Copies of this chain bind each other. A is one copy, B any other.
């Protein structure tokens, strides 16, 4: 397509920022959750020489990994390479990632003394790598960089359970039996991750995302009592950049999500985009391709991408997956999806 010199100049704000602010864009910007990760051969090459936590704490490696998917696919934003569990480590919890297992906290929080024993968290002092990596990325590329953190409820799940779980029995028992203790933990975590997000904004992140991966384990009653207010508390500490709230189970919670007070809502892949738009009202959204659909033939990937863009409409939509990219994802599936987004033009 040739450039029409009579058409209005695009504003100077980057595409992703315009969409995150709810503006109409000529096409949606695109980035993928976990785009800096194991499906990329160049990531696996680096990862084979370093362990995961070392990479997170090394700003040079973290920025390099952040830039890899931008070079290969031209995503409209990078998401800084880090992990949601690092603030818990900075607050004094021993954290292990062992081969073939998920994360482990060998000494989970169980008592009032455990919760009160969490150390104060100063992001620049206690977890400087993500901010340094953001600054390095900003020096290396014009592509906007996103910061992120885990939501208080999701972090509380890992901190109390000691690792991943299907049922979160220990977490929920504390919530039921010691709601004041659980609330104090959420408050501590909300303040910590809120400050961490703000530090990332100050380091140059164009926007930040709060990941409430496990909020979908809760009933609506518990979600509204614990998870959403804690996420709102965290986000209330962030100024100067759009704040995205993502939960892996937005579907049943659509009528309540806006209690978080985020600027943008990330949708998982089980939610029909048109229904989500109707339920959420006039607020920007992000999502929501099934990450496993990237394994489909390229033409089918493209059809699915276009269907989501059409349903989302021209205003305030950031294209993304509905969950993190699967580590075995074929590169051609990613290419098909990104191309389909970039080929789109609104009328």
Contact = CB atoms under 8 A, between A and B. Distances in A.
Interface string A287-329: 0001111011100100010010000000000000010001010
Given A295-B176, A296-B177, A290 B219 contact: yes
Contact of A270 (B168, B172, B173, B253): B253
A78 B322 CA distance: 39
A191 interface: no
A53 to B, nearest CB: 23
A176 B271 contact: no
B272 A220 contact: yes
A212 to B, nearest CB: 13
A297 B177 CA distance: 7
Interface in A158-177: 167-169, 172-173, 176-177
A275 B296 contact: no
A219 B270 contact: yes
Nearest to A172: B292
Interface in A209-254: 216-223, 249-253
A92 interface: no
Contacts of A296: 172-173, 176-177
B219 A293 contact: yes
B292 A271 contact: no
26 contacts: A167-B292, A167-B326, A169-B292, A169-B326, A169-B328, A172-B290, A172-B292, A172-B293, A172-B295, A172-B296, A173-B296, A176-B293, A176-B300, A219-B269, A219-B322, A220-B272, A221-B307, A249-B251, A249-B252, A251-B251, A251-B252, A251-B253, A252-B270, A253-B270, A255-B272, A255-B275
Interface of A: 167-169, 172-173, 176-177, 216-223, 249-253, 255, 269-272, 275, 290-293, 295-297, 300, 304, 307, 322, 326, 328
